[in-house]
Every structure is written in C-alpha cells, then in structure tokens.
Amino acid sequence: MVESAADAPPGGATGTRGARMSDSQQTDASRAPQWWSRPDGDAKARPAEVPPQRSDPEHGALPHPDAAPDHDAAADATAAPYAKAAPDPDTATVIGAEAGPEADPFGEADPDAGPEAAPRYDPWAARPLHVVDRGPEPRGFRMWQVVALAVGVALLAGGVGGYLGVLAERRSSIRLELPQAAVDSKGRAPDSVAGIAASALPGVVTLHVSGGGGSGTGTGFVLDPQGHILTNNHVVADAKDITVTFSTGESVPAQLVGRDGGYDLAVVKVDGVRGLRPLALGNSENVKVGDPVVAIGAPFDLSNTVTAGIISATGRPITAGGDKGDGSDISYVDALQTDAPINPGNSGGPLLDARAHVIGINSAIRGADKSADGDEDDRQSGSIGLGFAIPVNQGKRVAEELISTGHATHPVIGVTLDMQYKGDGARVGTKAGDGKPSVVADGPGARAGIKAGDVITKVDGQRVHGGDELIIKIRAHRPGDSLNLTVLRDGRERTLDVVLGSADGS
C-alpha cells in the first residue's frame, strides 16, 4: 500500500532541492504526485502485441507525454533531465511481473471489483505510449458502392444487349432473302395479250366531254396521222367541250367532225399533235366465234384498261338508245358479241384481234335484269360478260363518210315497216306515218315488187324475226349493194332481188 503525502515524516520535507528531488523519486512517496503512485498488487503483464515503453538510448525512459510534471521535478529537470528513478522496493511493483489470467493489459478496472481494485494511471507501466483508434472494422460494401456497381452493370448489360440485338437484326435481315426470278427481257410475243396491248395503247385515247347539263367519259382510237379519232355517237352527243387524253398523259382539246345516231358512230379531230400512232383496221368478215380478242378503254374513267376474252357470237342484232322516244336516236347494230369485260367508259374503244388489228368498236353492254319490284337501282351496271361491238367494216365506211361530208348515208329499200307486228318476220305496213303509201313509189322495194302487207322472212337466206332485225341486216351493207329477200305473201314464199338505195342519216 502506497503511503499518502499526509503520512510522510516531517523530516522528509527538509534538505536540499536536489536531495528532495532524489528522495521524492526513490524513497519519499509523500512527495510524489498521486498520479505517479502505483496500484497495489502485482503489475499486469504487457500483452505480447503491445510494444515496450519507448526509451532514449542514452538517458533511459522518457516521461509520458501527457503527464503534467511536478513543479519540483520540472525545476530539477535541468540537472538530470534524463535521470532514471529507482523503484521503491517497498511500494513499487516490479515492472514486467507476471500478470494473472484475468489481468487487463491496459490497466482498466474490473467493473465488478471493489473501489480498491480500480487501477490508477501508471506512466511506468509496460504499455504503449499511444493507442491508435482505427474505428470500427469494415462491414463489407457500403450502400452507395452497391448502387454504383448495379448501375454500371445495368448500363453495360444494356449496351451489350442493344448491340447484340442490332447485330442479330442485321444478320436476320440478311438471311431473310426469298427466292426471286432475275429480271429478264420485257418483250412479249406480238400475239399475246401483253404484246397486243403494248402495240395498241399508244393509239388509244380517253375522251372527257361536257355540255348539255352533264359530263361523261368515253374512249376512242386514232384513225390517221391527221388527228381523226373514231368513237361512239353517244359519247359526244350534245357535247360542248371535248378533251382528248393520250396514253402518255398529254391532254389536248378536240373538235367534232361528224356523227350519226343510227350507227352510233362519231369522228373528232385534234390539231397540232405530232407522233400519232393510228391503229390498223382489220376485216370483220374474217372474225369467227371463239377468236381471242382484247378490249382497251377507260371503264369508270380508269384509262388504259386492258381486258381480254373471245368472240362469243357474230351478227348479233341489237338496238341501243331510244331515250328520246321518237326513234331518232335508236342505233341498229349487227354486232360482234364478246365476253371481254366492257363497262361504262369503254364505249368507242377498239376491240382487237390477235394481230392487234381493230375488228370492232365497243358500243354496248347487256346489264342484269331489273329486280322483281322493278327498281332501277337494283340493276347491275357492270359487265356480266355480254359486250357488243360495231363491226369495223361498218365503222370504216361510216367514218370515211363523216370525215368527207360530215354525215353518213344509210342503205334503204324504200318501205315502211309495221313495228307492232308480233309474228315471225318483218311485215310491210299498209300506210306510212305521214299517211302516204308504205311502199315508196319508184323506190328500191317497189322496183323489186314488194307490196304492202308482205312479210319479209329472210335476207340472203338468213332468218329475220322482226322489223329491228331487218333494219340491222340492211344497214350492215352499203348503198348500192344487192340483197336477196324472201317474202311471204298470201301464204306463199317468193324471192325478190333488191338493190339498196341511199338516205341521209342524222
């Protein structure tokens, strides 16, 4: 037990300053500060990891840097700044003594021990001069490091994935190549539909007309280098303005040259157009049923439309028009029938054979019948495979007359027919509409011996079933042609030869 400064003998307080310094360090415990006193008991052993007390190689151990020196010791420091004090054999514990198993290497008190067991700071104890506080041990990755790492990995993965996706798309697009035929010659056989169309299209035109309170579209084809174009009469009837559009898309105005309602043909003309391609005219007498044909026109204003089919019938008697009610606009046509699709707008266009020669002028179609309630709106307006064309032989003759004189002539026999007759054949009327005789005096019929009331049953050996058919058969010829007529009179048939006369058309 270290004695306190109050128990020191009085004599210890006398003596020289240096002796006092020596006594206070070696024998007189009362002169030493409290914080220099050593605790009772054995000194604790220094742990193996704690370095020994730092010392000066010449003067011994250095005082603790945090210790406040005694004023006397500070005064004597000049005399022996590095004097090494000898431990008191009675009170000091031996440095380096063996510590017990429960000794605290840093001299900390056991919290369960009594107040006498609390250690006091011993500057001479075997422990390090400084204890470095290195903080808590690392606990792995910090949160911001984890987030940064995750973002980096995500960006890297996205970039790599995008690159691989683009690369895969490029490779897949390269691999996706379907087999395809190489580009070959665009030429076609002249007798094929494509060959016929390529040859004829430059000579086919589309007509846009206006006037008479309406407008319409039709087709025509070039007849000669002078710019004459043949089309249907019902396309340009009552027209004020006519515009012609060629297959190249060039449009120019046109003027009416002449027209004929009985034949449903008209001629218009364009001026100042170079490079016209007239179509070659064929011969309708050479046409046979089953021959392939090509029709070109502008159905529903779809210009340069090409359709194909065959000749379904020849010599098909048809009538068209009659909207005026007086019969002046009725067309009588000994037509070629075809199943090539023909629709509104095809009128006036060419019907071509396998050599691209014009054999007919498309003029009429047969629509579907009316509905049971008679509603016109239910009638089919498109093609049902029944189209009719004016034979080119008739069209050629009429076009030549229209170009030459502006009007066409009609072949006639000089008789008035009873159009109300319901029997088989065409019956000659008893009187004309104006009250005159039904057989024109000194006319072609009168000279051949035809009389009122005769029933004409055949023309050149071909049966006729009504007045319309007789007119059609006659108009299929030129004025001056000779016809053989079979006539039924008083129950007996007889044959008469008639030379056709001429009458001006409308």
* Residues with catalytic roles: 234, 264, 347
Long-range pairs for 53-57: beta carbons < 8 A, 24 or more residues apart: 53/124, 53/126, 53/127, 53/129, 54/129, 56/82
Torsion of CA 418, 421, 427, 429, to 10 degrees: -30
Dist. CA 332–CA 337, nearest whole Å:
14
Q: Hey, how many other C-beta atoms are within 10 angstroms of the C-beta on 17? A: 11
For the chain, the maximum distance between any two Cα atoms, rounded to a whole number of angstroms, is 196
Dist. CA 249–CA 243, nearest whole Å:
12
Instruction: Tell me the CA distances in angstroms from 221 to 30, 208, 229, 235, 295, one per residue in order.
Output: 146, 14, 5, 13, 12
Q: What angle do CA 183, 184, 189 make, to 5 degrees?
A: 140
The encoded tokens of residue 464 equal: 């006729």
Dist. CA 401–CA 432, nearest whole Å:
29
With 0-12 / 13-18 / 19 or more C-beta atoms within 10 angstroms meaning exposed / middle / buried, residue 421 is middle
Query: Backbone dihedral region of 379: left (phi > 0), alpha (psi from -120 to 50 degrees) or beta?
Result: beta
Residue with tokens 């072609």: 444
Name the helix (H) or strand (E) containing 472.
Answer: helix 467-475
With 0-12 / 13-18 / 19 or more C-beta atoms within 10 angstroms meaning exposed / middle / buried, residue 39 is buried
The encoded tokens of residue 217 equal: 């579209």
Helix (H, G, I), strand (E, B) or coil at 128: coil
Contact of 107 with 126, CB cutoff 8 Å:
no
**Who's near 311: CB < 8 A, 6+ residues apart?**
287, 288, 289, 290, 291, 293, 336, 337, 338
**Who's near 136: CB < 8 A, 6+ residues apart?**
none
DSSP per residue, 363-428 = EEE--PPPPTT--GGGS--S--S-EEEEEHHHHHHHHHHHHHHSS-EEEE-SB-B-TT--SSSEEB
Dist. CA 38–CA 91, nearest whole Å:
8
With 0-12 / 13-18 / 19 or more C-beta atoms within 10 angstroms meaning exposed / middle / buried, residue 74 is exposed
Residue with tokens 């002249």: 190
